[in-house]
Amino acid sequence: MRRLTGRYFGPCIRVRRDSDNATTDIGFTVSGDLNVAGLLAFTGGASGFVATWYDQMDAAPLMRDIPEAQPQIVRSGVLLTMPTSRNRPVISTNGGIDSAGGQDMATATPAASLTFEQPFARSSVVTFEEPVGSEFFPILLESNNSPVELYETATGAYAMYAYDVDRFSAIIGITPGRSGVILEYYNRTDSWCLFNGVKRQGSVGAGGLGSNFLGIGGYGWLSGVRNIAALYGEVSVFPEGLSEADQNLLTADQKTYWGT
């Protein structure tokens, strides 16, 4: 929900208002923030839903054509924000348990710009929320058969997982209600996740694949697509690992901007 590169001059999101289903692109302010004034002028007292979250590399935008499945950014004229001191705008997916009841977004499959093998890295700013109705609920990011985040009812926490043949292997647990910066690095047995400065080592197994698309808010695992409530501020994918210096610069910038 902000401009991440000075080389991008397009819009941030395409928004649909539910009062008449009209849509418009919302861009950035001069300082690179989401144009909230323009967004709220467009929605008025209605609710706003995100049909497209544009890729700032002009390659693979996240999209959702079905109105009922589009994530929300304005609720009855009120902007949805990250629950931190910065109050930055976010998009929200709800807690439906199938594609008809949930909200999610994904790139086209395959997306050429997201097709690469391990190692690769992903970064995101998110608030985890409490799911209901299932032992496992996927959340946040999914790339081909690569790692996803799932909620475990038994432990009351989220865990990083990676699909390897017929099993999942945990990397880190995160409790609901927390906002934070996640940096993930996937390179089979040499994998790790950094959440708010705490690093956990993990393994995605020798059979772990790379990436050929990106999805948020849902994952087609077990019986159909499953979704969960979460607040998303920004998502980035890197087709290679990041140096420790770059990791520190990235997470420091995200923490400062989002106030996590």
Residues 18-41, mean pLDDT to the nearest whole number: 98
Same domain for 113 and 233?
A: yes
- The residues facing 148 across adjacent strands are 161
Q: What is the count of structural domains for the chain?
A: 2
- pLDDT over 50 (residue 134): no
For residue 110, the SS3 value is: coil
**What's the token pair of residue 62?**
């996240």
Rounded to 5°, angle at Cα 34 from 260 and 110 = 85
pLDDT at position 18 is 96
CATH number for the domain spanning 156: value is 2.60.120.200
Alpha-carbon span 231 to 249, nearest angstrom: 23
**231 and 126, same structural domain?**
yes
Which residue range forms the structural domain that includes residue 238?
105-258
Q: Model-level pTM? A: 0.84
- What helix, strand, coil percent values describe the chain, rounded to 5? 10, 40, 50
Residues 163-191 pLDDT 10s: 544 344 444 556 667 788 888 887 776 77
Percent of the chain with pLDDT over 70: 67
Most confident of 33-37, 131-135, 175-179: 33-37
Residue 87 lies in a domain: no
Residue 144 corresponds to which tokens in the numbers above?
Answer: 């081909």
- Which of residues 71 and 206 earns the better pLDDT score? 71
pLDDT at 256 over 80: yes
pLDDT surpasses 50 at 30: yes
What average pLDDT score do residues 214-232 get? 62
